[in-house]
Amino acid sequence: MHPQTLAARRRLYLLARVVVARHYRRRLTLAVVARALSSSPRQLQRAYAQFGELSFQEDLLARRMSAAAQLLSEQPAIAVRDVARLVGYRQAPHFARVFRRRYGMAPARFRERARAHRAQTAERSAAARSAAARPAAAARASSCARGSEASGSSCSAPGSSSRMSVPPPSAASAATRPLCWSTT
């Protein structure tokens, strides 16, 4: 095949992908996209076959389903029928059927699982941050507490020349708020 033909077909494929990514909410067909790119449907089909991993319809479906999954997980206030409309489906039952085929569960169930996963991930990351902060804070406090007064001390952070004020430890403050360091 001629190099210019290959370059033109690759460009056509890439432009079609851009059109699908930007306008997936609209009624898109191979003919509509080809017309928008001043090409024929057959040329566009050849471009997808040669350079793409998916056909035009599969590419459009993947883009719509990806956007739907993102909306369902990040926007709980938007109803499933509105998500369907936002991603280019006129009928919510058709959207739900396609979504179920793609993800193995109904859109509402997907949303529930995404919410539960997000909560579980947030708990884990908070616990990890808390666990990681405790030894570091304890090490800083013990190194500063050596040779200092119980009423409040001043010490340098490792590798720095600035002085830091360390509040005196108390049972109430440790339980209610994290250890704070302030420069003086």
75-84, 152-161, 174-183: which has the highest mean pLDDT? 75-84
> Among 11-20, 99-108, 140-149, which stretch is predicted with the lowest mean pLDDT?
140-149
pLDDT of 120:
87
What's the pLDDT band for 174 if we cut at 50, 70, 90?
very low
In this prediction, residue 38 carries a pLDDT of 95
Name the region of 38 (left: φ>0; alpha: ψ -120 to 50; beta: rest).
left
Determine the pLDDT at residue 1: 75
In terms of C-beta distances under 8 Å and separation of at least 24 residues, what long-range contacts does 58-63 make, across chains too? 59/17, 59/20, 60/20, 60/24, 60/28, 61/98, 61/102, 63/20, 63/21, 63/24
Strands (E), the chain: 153-156, 163-166, 182-183
Tell me the pLDDT of the chain averaged across its residues: 81
pLDDT at 5 exceeding the cut of 50: yes
CA separation (Å) from 158 to 37, 60, 61, 64, 163?
62, 55, 55, 52, 10
Is 31's pLDDT higher than 70? yes
- Alpha carbons 92 and 79: distance in angstroms, whole number: 10
